[in-house]
Amino acid sequence: MRKSILSLFFLVAVFVGAVARAESPADAPEVFEEPFTAEHPSGTWPPVGPAANPHVNPGEVAFNFGVVYTAAWAFYLVQQNKTILDHGSFENWATHWYQPHFDNDSFEYNLFKHTAVGSMYYQFYRSRGYDVKRAFAWSFLSSLAFEFTIETVTEQPSFQDIYQTPVYGTILGIGLEKLSQACHRTETAIGHVCGYLLDPFTLIPRTPKFALTPSISRDRWVADLRWEF
């Protein structure tokens, strides 16, 4: 039974991967006929929710995934430091990844915390211009990466987490996104505040362009970091 479940998750990972692969510009056809203008119902400022952007290029895809993966490591090291010291080891990290199981966690972890984290994955990818399905697919891959390459320091990958984090997270994320949009549409200060609280990633500019330009001379080293809005 467990082997079949493992096979099942592998199957899911394959087709979610296939969905995620469709991120390349050549695969993603243009779907918007109307320009994104201030007159457009969803084009008023502040932006009410993220817009699907068919032109997310492979570099951005890798960057976005890298941001999530780095944040997951940082969050895990900070939030679970005591658990890591008590139960973590390199041996765990090297061996746990091929021993997924049904965990014994409480429902606060399995239902609420993982769902909350999953909704953040989803909202982040949506805020970067991914459509609903691709945001789900990348949430799934991000969750897999966490389960199989980060959390293995202290525990085996959990079937509950692998499924519930992206699936329940996406469901919650869709709900929060709609509520956030409804709040923004009130066009009131409190509405906007609530809208951003419900979907905080919409505060980050949609198409940031980062540039790090090193400048090295005989007497100084300069790193010029730019973030173009």
Partner 1 sequence: MTLGFHLISILMAAAVTLAVSTPAAAQAPVPRDLQIAESPFMPNSKPEAFRPGHWSEGLHLLTGFGINAAVFNSETAHINAGLGSNFKADIGWYINDRLAIEVGSAVKFNRYEKDLLWDTLFTLGVRYRFRSLVFNTDGAFARLFAGESPTVLYPGDSNNPIRAVGASRAQFNGPLAGLGFGYFFKTQAGLNWFIETDAAYQWLRFSDTIVDQNDVPIVLQSGEVGGSPKIFTLAFNIGLVLF
Which candidate, 134, 143, 127, places its Cα nearest to that of 198?
127
Site for partner 1 in 74-103 (CB under 8 A): 82-83, 86-87, 102-103
C-beta closer to partner 1: residue 108 or 224: 108
Q: Do the beta carbons of residue 192 and residue 184 sit within 8 Å?
A: yes
**What is the CB neighbour count within 10 angstroms for residue 110?**
18
**What is the CB neighbour count within 10 angstroms for residue 62?**
11
Among 100, 157, 176, 195, binds partner 1 (CB under 8 A): 176
Tell the smallest beta-carbon distance from residue 210 to partner 1 (Å): 24
Give the number of residues in contact with partner 1, rule: CB under 8 A.
Answer: 68
Which candidate, 82, 78, 75, 69, places its Cα nearest to that of 154?
82
**217 lines the binding site for partner 1 (CB under 8 A):** no
C-beta closer to partner 1: residue 57 or 106: 106
Tell the smallest beta-carbon distance from residue 170 to partner 1 (Å): 7
Tell the smallest beta-carbon distance from residue 191 to partner 1 (Å): 14
Distance CA 92, CA 90 (A): 5
**6 lines the binding site for partner 1 (CB under 8 A):** no
Q: Quick one: which segment of 33-41, 58-66, 68-76, 210-218 binds partner 1 (CB under 8 A)? A: 33-41
**21 lines the binding site for partner 1 (CB under 8 A):** yes
Q: Which residues of the chain form contacts with partner 1 (CB under 8 A)?
A: 1-2, 4-5, 8-9, 12, 15-16, 18-19, 21-22, 27-29, 31-32, 34, 36, 40-43, 48-52, 54, 82-83, 86-87, 102-112, 115, 131-134, 136-137, 159-160, 163-164, 167-168, 170-172, 174-176, 178-179, 181-182
